[in-house]
Amino acid sequence: MDGLGLTVPPKEDFTLDFIVDTLGKEYMVDTINVFEQETITMSIGSFAEKFYEEKPRKELYNIISLEVSQISQLCNSINPPEMVRIISMVEKLWSHRKREEIRPYLEKFLLISMEGSFTTFHVDFGGSSVYYHILSGQKIFYLALPTQENLEWFRKLELEGEDNEWLPDSLPDSISRLVIKQGETIFLPSGVIHAVYTPVDSIVIGGNFLHTGSLKMQHRIYEIEMEKKKKFDIDYKFLFPLFVEIHFWYAKDIFIPALRVSNQKRNNIKESYEWSCIMDILPILIKLKNLEKQKETLIWLSFNRIIKAIQSQIQIQLKIQNPDRSMGLSSSSSRKTRKFLPEISFKPSSSENLAKRNKMIPDKPWF
């Protein structure tokens, strides 16, 4: 696609027939039974039969979670937008082919939707950002920004509302309606609350990604998901795979080594994107560690070590930034200070941070 670095196959080739032939009729897919808003697993062959029924169809099904990154005949002609490939935390972490066998694949979804399908208000898992390209058909998005008020509304909806309501009793004050036509692409930033209506049969190519510019929002959404999980015991498959591990590994493999290098060079990185990310991720790691306490995770045993490592590198950096001020861990009150390090007032305000990020991202696409 012009300017985006997105590659998609020609829509004439990428039909439901082609997808069924490639996967084989017996290939099982999760679909949404639209009127019940319930997940139903069926073969792609059965889905196609229902798809080719005479309209108006008696039942509507919507495929929104068919990921094809490991099906070469379907994925070879798809390349997510360049920006996604650059900033995706999953891409970055797995670019060295470490832990390949557990890599989550989320950047090449096919969505196959029957006319009249709708998806109720939600935020994509883990507060992931989204790219969404209409190969054929059309979609109508109803969008609400992730303001504090709207997120509180969404939280209540998640915890108390009816799951299958297209129009819940209350709605955020301001909702934007966005029609996306064939050949168009949208990006949804982290945390955007959205509902989607499909006015005509549609095939969409889309993907989800976490990125360091939205660490706080991603974590905010994850907290809501955890609250919901606690209340309703939802399946892990509805959460961003390895969400906690991804943040842990990112800190361990990317943030700490980068901060260590800056510290060794005695670089003051106070104004850098790198620093704002590090200050964002530390409190998140502390909260994730506590959230995960009860659970067996791959990384639980090393969590404290990584948190300590990041805290001590932050301390070294703070001394570089403020050579005249005593920020040392050696002072008697250091234990407390260390615990609340992220709140230390050296942090630029969030709008400054944002501006900095916008400026910095093109310079440091690797971070």
- Least distance from C-beta 290 to ligand AKG, angstroms? 29
Structure tokens of 73? Answer: 């005949």
- Least distance from C-beta 124 to ligand AKG, angstroms? 5
- Least distance from C-beta 285 to ligand AKG, angstroms? 27
- Least distance from C-beta 122 to Fe ion, angstroms? 6
202 and 81 Cβ atoms separated by less than 8 Å: no
**Any idea what DSSP says for residue 77?**
T
The reply to whether 245 sits near Fe ion by the rule CB under 5 A is no
Q: Which of 78, 120, 124, 280 binds Fe ion (CB under 5 A)?
A: 124
| From Fe ion, ligand AKG, none, interface partner of 64 (C-beta below 5 to 8 A by class) | ligand AKG
- Least distance from C-beta 187 to ligand AKG, angstroms? 13
The enclosing H or E element of 1 equals: none
Binding segment toward Fe ion, per CB under 5 A, in 43-51, 123-131, 155-163, 353-361: 123-131
Q: What is the DSSP string of 91-136?
A: HHHHTT-TTGGG----S-EEEEE-TT-EEEEE--GGG-EEEEEEEE
| From Fe ion, ligand AKG, none, interface partner of 190 (C-beta below 5 to 8 A by class) | none
| From Fe ion, ligand AKG, none, interface partner of 117 (C-beta below 5 to 8 A by class) | ligand AKG
Which of 297, 304, 283, 273 minimizes the C-alpha distance to 366?
Answer: 273
Binding segment toward Fe ion, per CB under 5 A, in 92-100, 105-113, 117-125, 161-169: 117-125
Q: What are phi and psi of 362, to 5 degrees?
A: -65, -30
- Least distance from C-beta 32 to ligand AKG, angstroms? 8
CB under 8 Å to 134, separation ≥6 — which residues? 180, 181, 182, 183, 184, 185, 202, 204
Which of 140, 72, 45, 66 minimizes the C-alpha distance to 110?
Answer: 66
Structure tokens of 126? Answer: 């883990």
Closer residue to ligand AKG (CB): 129 or 263: 129
Q: What are phi and psi of 131, to 5 degrees?
A: -115, 150
Closer residue to Fe ion (CB): 107 or 124: 124
Closer residue to Fe ion (CB): 124 or 280: 124
| From ligand AKG, Fe ion, none, interface partner of 211 (C-beta below 5 to 8 A by class) | none
Please report where in the chains the tokens 């360091």 appear, as a residue: 212
# of chain residues touching Fe ion (CB under 5 A)? 1
Query: Which residue is at the shortest CB distance from ligand AKG?
Result: 119
The enclosing H or E element of 206 equals: strand 193-209
What is the C-alpha to C-alpha distance for residues 25 and 48, in angstroms, rounded to an integer? 9
Ranges within 170-199 binding Fe ion (CB under 5 A): none
- Least distance from C-beta 313 to ligand AKG, angstroms? 37
Q: Which residues bind ligand AKG (CB under 6 A)?
A: 62, 64, 111, 113, 117, 119, 124, 139, 194, 196, 198
Interacting residues toward Fe ion by CB under 5 A: 124
